[in-house]
Amino acid sequence: IDLMGVLSSFRREGIGFRMVDEALKIAKWNGCEQIVLEVPEKDSTAIAFYEKYGFRHKRNLITFFIKRPGTKGFSLKKSDSSRIIECALSAISNFKRNPEWEREPSSFTHLEQYNFDFVENPEGKERGYCIWQEKDSLFYVRDAGPVKSSSYREIIGGLCGIAKDKGLTPLFPTVPDDDPLFMEATELDPQVLLKQSEMIYKIH
């Protein structure tokens, strides 16, 4: 579930539960095994609502930006989405990623407004990939990852350097706290903008 809400004048009438019931029916018809949604950590009312229905907290999703200058000399090389998706699939197995739904490689095929680029080090060697776009003054990273011989720390540092060269602030939205993209970013003193609870409902 990407987004759901009930107008304030119609709350406490069971409409929210009926909406989730309908979503559950659709999910069952389509053979889904679970329903996933994200709730801001501070929205205790919404969390209590979903817990009452049967959703359970899985992990935190962190939206963060990095102010440090990063590593100089890295650059981006334009690619096509199919090659970048292959890299993203390899990163899942090579680095034991468990991405949330927005970082599932199968969801990347409809991102026409994003750039699909390889990340090259100062020697011109491909060290990873990045799916990104410029939003206002932000270098908005939909996903990024290393090739097998590289590391997330190297790629994050390189992307921060690239963003600074462009006069942009690198932003990493809704990254799971157990994902190496976040865990290795902690070495660069990330500034947390938003923390959300990823909640799961298992369909029996």
pTM greater than 0.95 (yes/no): no
pLDDT, residue 75, reads 97
Structural contact between residues 174 and 102, judged by C-beta atoms closer than 8 angstroms: yes
Architecture field, domain 8-60+197-202: 3-Layer(aba) Sandwich (3.40)
Q: What is the pLDDT confidence band of residue 127, given thresholds at 50, 70 and 90?
A: very high
Q: Give 197's contacts (C-beta < 8 A, 6+ positions apart).
A: 38, 39, 40, 41, 47, 57, 58, 60, 61
Architecture category of domain 67-188 in CATH: 3-Layer(aba) Sandwich (3.40)
Read off the pLDDT of each residue in 89-93 and give the average, rounded to a whole number: 92
C-beta of residue 63 within 8 angstroms of C-beta of residue 112 = no
Backbone dihedral angles phi then psi of residue 136, each to the nearest 5 degrees: 55, -115
What pLDDT, on the 0 to 100 scale, is given for residue 1? 82
Q: Using the predicted structure, report yes or no on whether residue 60 has a pLDDT greater than 90.
A: yes
| Domain pair 8-60+197-202 / 67-188, same fold | yes
Domain ranges of the chain: 8-60+197-202, 67-188
Give me the mean pLDDT over the 178-190 stretch: 93
Q: What is the mean pLDDT of residues 30-38?
A: 91
pLDDT tens-digit map of 49-58: 899 989 999 9
Question: Residue 124 — pLDDT band, cuts 50, 70, 90?
Answer: very high
**Strand order, beta sheet including 138-146:** 34-40, 191-202, 56-65, 169-176, 138-146, 126-135, 115-120, 75-78
* Cα(169)–Cα(20) distance, integer angstroms: 37
